Amino acid sequence: MLRSCNLLLIFYTIVICFTAGNIEAQSSQLPKDEVDALKEIATELGKKDWDFKQNPCDGNSNWSTPKRKDMPLYNNTLVCNCTSPDGLCHVQSIFLKGQDLAGVLPSSLAKLPYLKKIDFNRNYLSGTIPPEWASTKLEFMVVSANRLSGPIPEYIGNMTSLTVMSLETNLFNGSLPVEVGKLVNLQNLVLSANNFTGEWPVELNNLTKLIELRMSSNSFVGKLPNFESWKNLQMLEIEGSGFEGPIPPSVSNLTSLTELRISDLKGGASEFPPLRNMTGMTKLVLRSCNIVGMIPDFVADMSELRFLDLSFNKLEGGIANIESLTNLEATYLTANAFVGPIPEWLKSRDTRYVIDLSYNKFDESSEPSTCRDNLNLFRSFNGGNFIEQGKCLSMNPCSEDQYSLHINCGGGRVTIGNTTFEADEDPAGAAKFVYWKGNWGSSSTGHFWDRVISLNDYKADNISAITGDEAQLYMTAHLSPLSLTYFARCLANGSYTLTLHFAEIVFRDNRSFQSLGRRIFDVYIQDELKLKDFDIERVAGGVDKALKEKFNVTVKDKTLDVRFQYAGKGTTSIPSRGKYGPLVSAISLEANFKPPPTQENSSNRKKKILIVVGAVMFSLALILMILFVAWRKRRNRNLMEQELRGLDLQTGIFTFRQIKAATSNFDAANKLGEGGFGSVYKGTLADGTIIAVKQLSSKSRQGNREFVNEIGMMSGLRHPNLVRLYGCCVERNQLLLVYEYMENNCLSHVLFVNCRS
């Protein structure tokens, strides 16, 4: 009985578990219409790796890929809400980031009625915002870093449930529609890195719930918007937007601000904006805003301030009033008109903090006795030659004038043809002044926002291949988030040709979000703007293409400086944050005039002249000696010939051509023998006479006199037992005797020394 009860209990337990599992499986299923919608969405996006054989809502890795450290920008997550009253699951969020999807924004999103969040950041999507989206209940919409284009459609005003809308880094253009002002629930609005134009619509003042507003790198016109109604703003970014100053007084109402970034305003001078009540500020950037006057005392009350950038303004006076800002990690007061002494507290600041005071007018007497990597004082002092000032350079005085300079920016020493480019391998920094060998150096200002200062990288490496004779120059480049200056000193005054070498080696040329970056910066030479809104990729016609920009420059005071400056334009998040700003591969400088000879060059020149003169004299002497020897030999031959002709010879004188023809050019086949005096050849004259030719050897002991005596003696003898002498030849250093040829080899008994008969 007990056993039967136990079996019955087990049976009921199995039934209950199976039923519960069945219910759970059913409750985690998507409705068929939502599954069909996902299939359409995948087709429109170009997403091919969704596996519809698996349940999108059970958390499997195909529909919800775990995050990986080696792919921090990648996200592949679909989130379902399975707590709906109808007992079914519904798609609530879709996050597809960093996947290079190359389709369009899917209109089928409207078929997911419970969808609230989408994030398609860092893909390759094109087109515009579909009209079907106007009927959705989206709250979170991020489509940044794609290829979306055209104006923002007016029907976007119907998406009133939106709290977050990010359109950053796309190709949107035209004026902002007033309908955006209907999105009254917006808390985060990001419009940066597009090409929006026109004035800021006053209707957007209705967005009173805004916490974050970014509109940098656009082409707006007119005055800055009125900030009065955005009292909840905590982050406001307006860099390189095209707006005119001044910063309106209504900015004082933004008391919740913790981060304010405004830069590169057009228009005239203005006073420091009223920020007195912003005591919670942590990051303050008012760069290139044409601000005049002194730093107001209320800045010292911003006790939470960690980053302060007031560079490229017209501020004056001293800087002692910011001493109380002990939390400052980075201070940029570059390119103002600050005067007076550099405060002692600043010179003794902990090396963890960076301070840039370059391009100012401080008292030179207050300069620190040593140079520091985190305190940039390049051209910081008043009067005289700006570059030559400073103890760092005064320790390396110019010894002689220079007429050329070649720098491989960010790379090692490289030789291209006959030109050697010097290495520039210093890692640079947020406020760093570097000098090399005393005759050139660099000044680096700024750090990449949203990145830890110590993790900033100011060098770019090429990950592809650039071909050509100068390819080595484009393997590395120097990168800067704000301002990078290269200076040359000890130059001879005069006209030079300056060549700046560029190549876009960070962005890629493929169907990827990594190809969507836009690098835009300005170039100043001798403080004069030469290139405005310069875009390497656009001018070169693509990435990984070498580009040279040449300039005629005039060097005065023996110095030259070239400044590359970021002015708020371009993208800041492609391929990742910290890759924007000026990028330069190499710098070449060559004089357009012939350098005068130096004392060393003059000495070397004299040595070279002496060597050349000596070589010429030696050559002349050698030639004269050869000519003399030849003349002497010829004279001897002529004398001998005259002497022979003076004898009463009964023989003839043959030419060398006759003898050569008779012996077939002294053919070895005609050789009869050889003795100590030389060789004997058989020959036939033109008239058929057979002869024997005795050729006097250079090794023979028989000299010219003996030769003449032999001819004189033999010519007068006539006897049947003596061989007859026909004549001789004295030409071309040859001494030849022509005898009668004796048959049966008797001639050898006559002519050779060992004859016994």
Residue range 468-485, pLDDT digits in tens: 889 999 999 999 999 999
Q: Which CATH superfamily is domain 29-215 in?
A: Ribonuclease Inhibitor (3.80.10.10)
Most confidently predicted of 25-34, 434-443, 448-457: 434-443
Tell me which long-range contacts 183-186 makes (C-beta under 8 A, separation of at least 24).
183/156, 183/157, 183/159, 183/207, 184/160, 184/208, 184/209, 185/139, 185/160, 185/161, 185/209, 186/162, 186/210
User: Which tokens belong to 516?
Assistant: 């969507």
Burial environment of residue 3 by CB neighbours within 10 A (0 to 12, 13 to 18, 19 or more): exposed
What are the residues whose beta carbons fall under 8 Å from the beta carbon of 563, sequence distance 6 or more?
Answer: 483, 484, 485, 523, 524, 525, 527
Neighbour-count burial for 462-477, b at 16+ CB within 10 Å, e otherwise = beeebeeebebbbbbb
Looking at the predicted structure, is the pLDDT value of residue 238 above 70?
yes
Q: What is the pLDDT of residue 651?
A: 65
Q: What is the Cα–Cα distance from 503 to 726, expressed in whole angstroms?
A: 90
Whether 714 and 740 have beta carbons less than 8 Å apart is answered as no
Whether 163 and 184 have beta carbons less than 8 Å apart is answered as no
pTM value is: 0.76
Q: What is the pLDDT of residue 738?
A: 86
CATH classification (class only), 652-752? alpha beta
Q: What is the pLDDT of residue 660?
A: 84
Is the N-terminal amide bond of 85 cis, ω within 30° of 0? no
Looking at the predicted structure, is the pLDDT value of residue 106 above 90?
yes
* Structure confidence by residue, pLDDT tens digits, 42-77: 999 999 999 999 999 998 999 999 888 888 889 999
Count how many residues are written for the chain: 757
CATH classification (class only), 267-395? alpha beta
Helix (H) or strand (E) holding 711: helix 704-715
Q: What is the Cα–Cα distance from 246 to 263, expressed in whole angstroms?
A: 11
Model confidence at 299, in pLDDT bands (50, 70, 90)? very high
Paired sense of beta strands 354-356 and 337-338, if any? unpaired
Q: Which residue did the predictor score with more confidence, 529 or 326?
A: 529
* Structure confidence by residue, pLDDT tens digits, 119-174: 999 999 999 999 999 999 999 999 999 999 999 999 999 999 999 999 999 999 99
Whether 477 and 409 have beta carbons less than 8 Å apart is answered as yes
**Across residues 594-607, what is the average pLDDT?**
68
Nearest to 729 by CA among 661, 629, 671, 627: 661
Nearest to 676 by CA among 751, 742, 620: 751
Q: What is the Cα–Cα distance from 356 to 215, expressed in whole angstroms?
A: 27
Q: Which residue did the predictor score with more confidence, 82 or 388?
A: 82
**Across residues 397-420, what is the average pLDDT?**
92
Q: Is 530 annotated as a binding residue?
A: no
Q: What is the pLDDT of residue 75?
A: 95
Q: At what angle do helices 599-646 and 704-715 cross, to 10 degrees?
A: 20
Looking at the predicted structure, is the pLDDT value of residue 646 above 60?
no
User: What does pLDDT average to over the chain?
Assistant: 86
Amino acid at 360: N
**Across residues 533-561, what is the average pLDDT?**
95
**Across residues 329-354, what is the average pLDDT?**
89
Model confidence at 607, in pLDDT bands (50, 70, 90)? confident
Looking at the predicted structure, is the pLDDT value of residue 114 above 90?
yes
DSSP bridge pairs for 554: 495
Looking at the predicted structure, is the pLDDT value of residue 377 above 60?
yes
Q: Give CA 537 to chain center in angstroms.
A: 12
Most confidently predicted of 168-177, 614-623, 707-716: 168-177
Reply yes or no on domain 404-591 having CATH 2.60.120.430. Answer: yes
